[in-house]
């Protein structure tokens, strides 16, 4: 692998591609959205840098939700799936050795969380969280069960589409992000007020994992592909007066 | 043919939702699963500098505490060096500079123990006052909010801080300055964060 050029600041985040802070139909956002504009900062060392994680921080089996909470010899109930993909930056370069964390409901749409009181059953063999580091090519993978849809108190009959929450670090604190992965073909996606906080339909498409038959293990586990893109960085073609690093 | 720039778009953000603890702090969700949860120790036992506690509460536009927040802190060590390969210098063994805390479900109070960071060189050789970068996610927050914690007892450095001085409204700079008190001989800094309305905290697009 060739040495990448010395990199500078992160590209400006496109705030019209991301959801706005206030979206009326997602009711909780109404009182939790700042009313004053964000103050734009040029990157300093505080934003360019970010935490570094290594293989000592996590166990290799942490990415297998089929086994990481199950009793020995037991297995959670639900559709066995692989979720895999790559973490890239906006320059399409892989982001190696970065921490990806996921969490989700079980096949009934019930979370293992003391605040979730949904009627859907807990699964004694399913915890619902996993984590892994991307490899040198930015690739990651998890094994889990496909989560179920669940109701939530927004309007009285709102249901979240099946989704997996995804948290990614990147190399700088400015890349820190949390998002949600949805599944191809789910009819609840178009009806969801949280999905619809995103104004651009093409941006929504980026959150929909695709059925990936080529990564499926026959007679065992079906696969979905989900690539993640983090902010890219400028190459310092000219002096940009960023210092302190 | 029109040339294509070929850049990818950043994956759009979504709220962390009400159950963010499951993935990022399962102990708070009510179960143990990992050998070690990440982010519980920012500085490590070998860190030099003054041991401090930073705490506060996040309130919404009605003034109510937000009880399902997750906050992440990112800071330099006492010498102003980040634990990152792109920052010149080395940090103490075990100093990560990053931590993760959740609010109490009953009170909304959060807090973390760390060391007071040293000043970091900013852009154009302007020294930044000691600060901790903070990232806030929760149900109802569509894109994680970035802010900074500065320290009340660094008045001179704060007055010269290039980031605080970007904030045109001088009265708003105060929303980033944590109040100092001594409790049982330890320095405690308190910064209440207001998401919306009167006294709204300054949030940054970094």
pLDDT tens, position by position, A29-74: 999 999 999 999 999 999 999 999 999 999 999 999 999 999 999 9
pLDDT digits (tens, 9 = 90+) for A212-236: 999 999 999 999 999 999 999 998 7
Give me the pLDDT at residue A6, please.
Answer: 60
Residue B107 has a CB neighbour count (10 Å cut-off) of 10
- Distance, in Å, from the CA atom of B56 to the CA atom of B130, rounded to the nearest integer, reads 18
* Structure confidence at residue A88 as a pLDDT band (50, 70, 90): very high
User: Would the CB atoms of B22 and A17 count as touching at under 8 Å?
Assistant: no
From A106-110, B56-60, B104-108, the region with the lowest mean pLDDT = B104-108
Cβ of A21 under 8 Å from any chain B Cβ?
A: yes
pLDDT digits (tens, 9 = 90+) for A96-126: 999 999 999 999 999 999 999 999 999 999 9
Rounded-to-10 torsion of CA B165, B171, B173, B179: 140
H or E stretch covering B29: helix B26-29
Cβ of B171 under 8 Å from any chain A Cβ?
A: no
> Which one-letter DSSP state was computed for residue B39?
T
Residues in A closer than 8 angstroms to B26, CB to CB, are: 127, 129
Q: Answer whether B28's CB lies under 8 Å from B85's CB.
A: no
Pairing of strands B177-183, B145-151: parallel
* Cβ neighbours for B25, distance < 8 A, ≥ 6 positions apart: B37, B39, B70, B100, B102
Cβ of B193 under 8 Å from any chain A Cβ?
A: no
In this model, does residue A1 exceed pLDDT 50?
no
Indicate the residue of A23, A101, A242 with minimum beta-carbon distance to B24.
Answer: A101
User: Which residues of A are the active-site residues?
Assistant: 111, 150, 160, 163, 165
Half-sphere exposure at residue A72, Cβ-oriented, CA atoms within 13 angstroms: 0
Which residue, A36, A15, A30, A40, is CA-closest to B201?
A36
Residues in A closer than 8 angstroms to B61, CB to CB, are: 30-33, 35
Give the residues across from A142 on adjacent strands: A83
Round the average pLDDT of chain B to a whole number and report it. Answer: 96
- Distance, in Å, from the CA atom of B122 to the CA atom of B116, rounded to the nearest integer, reads 18
Test the B interface: residue of A16, A24, A69, A178 with most B CBs within 10 Å: A178
pTM of the entire structure?
A: 0.96
Indicate the residue of B72, B123, B202 with minimum beta-carbon distance to A39.
Answer: B202
Indicate the residue of B11, B26, B96 with minimum beta-carbon distance to A129.
Answer: B26
Quote the tokens at residue A64: 């297998």
Residue of higher predicted confidence among B137 and A243: B137
Cβ of A70 under 8 Å from any chain B Cβ?
A: no
Give me the pLDDT at residue A242, please.
Answer: 66
Give me the pLDDT at residue A241, please.
Answer: 61
ipTM: 0.96
Q: In Å, how far is A215's CA from the nearest CA of chain B?
A: 22
Helix, strand, or coil here: A233?
strand
Give me the pLDDT at residue B42, please.
Answer: 97
* Structure confidence at residue A2 as a pLDDT band (50, 70, 90): very low
pLDDT digits (tens, 9 = 90+) for A132-148: 999 999 999 999 999 99
Question: What average pLDDT does range B140-164 have in this prediction?
Answer: 98
Helix, strand, or coil here: A45?
helix
Backbone angles phi, psi at A150, to 5 degrees: -150, 155
User: How far from A245 is each of A7, A43, B123, CA to CA, in Å?
Assistant: 11, 11, 10
Cβ of A5 under 8 Å from any chain B Cβ?
A: no
In this model, does residue A245 exceed pLDDT 50?
no
Quote the tokens at residue B45: 């036992």
From A10-14, B43-47, B85-89, the region with the lowest mean pLDDT = B85-89
Tokens 């997996």 correspond to A164
Test the B interface: residue of A4, A23, A41, A46 with most B CBs within 10 Å: A46
Q: How many CB pairs under 8 A join A and B?
A: 277
Cβ of A41 under 8 Å from any chain B Cβ?
A: yes
User: Would the CB atoms of A53 and B38 count as touching at under 8 Å?
Assistant: yes
Give me the pLDDT at residue B1, please.
Answer: 81
């Amino acid at each position: 692998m060739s040495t990448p050029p010395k990199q500078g600041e992160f590209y400006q985040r496109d705030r019209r591609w991301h959801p706005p802070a206030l979206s009326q139909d997602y009711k909780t956002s109404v009182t939790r959205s700042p009313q004053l504009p964000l103050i734009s900062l040029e990157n300093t060392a505080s934003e360019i840098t970010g935490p570094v994680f290594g293989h000592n921080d996590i166990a290799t089996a942490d990415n297998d939700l089929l086994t990481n909470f199950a009793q020995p010899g037991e297995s959670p109930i639900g559709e066995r799936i692989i979720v895999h993909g790559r973490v890239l930056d906006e320059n399409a370069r892989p982001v190696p050795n970065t921490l990806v964390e996921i969490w989700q409901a079980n096949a009934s749409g019930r979370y293992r969380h003391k605040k979730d009181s949904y009627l859907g059953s807990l699964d004694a063999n399913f915890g619902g969280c996993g984590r892994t580091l991307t490899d040198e090519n930015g690739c990651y993978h998890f094994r889990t069960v496909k989560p179920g849809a669940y109701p939530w108190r927004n309007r009285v009959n709102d249901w979240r589409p099946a989704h997996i929450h995804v948290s990614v670090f990147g190399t700088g604190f400015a890349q820190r992000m949390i998002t949600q992965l949805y599944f191809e073909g789910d009819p609840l996606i178009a009806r969801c007020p949280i999905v619809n906080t995103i104004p651009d339909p093409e941006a929504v498409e980026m959150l929909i994992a695709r059925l990936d038959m080529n990564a499926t293990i026959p007679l065992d586990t079906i696969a979905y592909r989900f690539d993640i893109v983090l902010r890219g960085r400028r190459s310092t073609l000219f002096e940009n007066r960023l210092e302190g690093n | 043919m029109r040339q294509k720039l070929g850049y990818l778009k950043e994956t759009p953000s979504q709220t962390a939702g009400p159950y963010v603890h499951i993935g990022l702090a399962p102990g708070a969700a009510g179960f143990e699963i990992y050998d070690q949860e990440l982010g519980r120790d920012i500085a490590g036992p070998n860190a030099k500098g003054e041991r401090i506690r930073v705490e506060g509460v996040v309130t919404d536009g009605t003034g109510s505490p937000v009880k399902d927040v997750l906050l992440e802190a990112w800071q330099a060590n006492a010498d102003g060096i980040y634990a990152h390969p792109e920052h010149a210098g080395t940090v103490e063994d075990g100093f990560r500079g990053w931590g993760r805390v959740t609010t109490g479900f009953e009170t909304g109070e959060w807090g973390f123990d760390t060391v007071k960071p040293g000043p970091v060189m900013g852009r154009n050789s302007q020294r930044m006052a000691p600060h901790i970068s903070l990232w806030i996610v929760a149900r109802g927050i569509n894109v994680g909010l970035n802010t900074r914690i500065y320290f009340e007892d660094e008045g001179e450095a704060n007055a010269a801080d290039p980031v605080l001085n970007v904030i045109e409204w001088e009265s708003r700079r105060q929303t980033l300055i944590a109040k100092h008190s001594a409790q049982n001989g330890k320095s405690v800094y308190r910064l209440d964060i207001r998401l919306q309305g009167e006294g709204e905290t300054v949030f940054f697009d970094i």
